[in-house]
Structure 1
């Protein structure tokens, strides 16, 4: 059985002309277990099979394994099946980029004809993603300085994560599609209620910005109620950054009677270049 680093080497060796140096923006090519550009900037594949392209320290404090593990279990349980189903209707065959892939479960579960690329700032997330056996390439990368050549992606997937439309447009192919998933008004309302967080959730500014960038975009509203298995109800309380602002006492009370259902209410924005 191939080691993770060997799988990544094999994947990259068969797929040149995708990556660029985040320092000088020249193409990088595989040289043994490293990626190098003509200026000799070097980025090593580590034993887990991913590359750190960051010019700053990765996030090791906020989005950690402690939060990613319950999130993964809930995604695997089918909590976001309705969202994935709609995304799969819109993806274009070819190279797919998952922006802010986190621990990689969305990318892993997504049915797609082509190669998968995922990146994040969170070290724990990318290291967990390498555990899934994704047939693709993972990296620690900066949203504002993507380590990819121009026009190499047929689909850019942006689920619950920040955007950089300048970079998205640069790396998107001429016939490519951008799929952005934005939480809508009632998203995870049960979690907000149990934590005493106001339900006046409004992401209209995010949607308006997308429409400004892509005036001819399409919009799909997705709303489902997911019944949470009893064994996953504590996970539901720990899967989101929402808990970061909640006191220890409120958390303890919530764990005594965790929600049984989760409202998945999102907007899928679809734009073609």
Structure 2
């Protein structure tokens, strides 16, 4: 039987944090970057946990100081469920109120039960897509219009779509698409993503009475066309059960890159 041990990372254990990266070159670059950040004070290791067993490194996770930023678990592909439970429990004990924990298939097995056994509750499943915006051309829709989120009719549409509290940064563009009678029935937005040269889209929604007419597909294509004017890539996602949105992603050449499980603390569920 394996004995598992969770400890905070230190400067001496930095190599453990890249031990699960398959490519040696990528691992070396990541390690050098972490050493530079640690030396400059940009990286703090007190909230980074390392999980070991008798066979060596099992996994690790960093708990952000800001609870709104989720925790990602990194585990060996063959890590037993017990290892996941122990690491997830250690995270739960240190996490702030409202903290989310994410399992993504690129970093850890998608096993919900071991995480739930540690005091977390499965909240949702999510799929992530990436798009090469230069691989194909996307059409600008002639009926699409840039709108102001503060205009009364736009606020009303946002409320109908369940997004009355939506606030966009100044570098985002809000787009409306009308139905056949010219009344705006769909909204979406485009702006910079969290990575260099990468756009993010928010397909806010289409009113129920206007669905099934291809408006979501047209709006998504228009947003991609706008994104391609400034960015080379797009990254985004949707709920795993949102098959209509997943068909739109696939139809526009987006590539599925990750499947994720989102967990919240049991006290927050």
The structure whose Rg is larger is 2
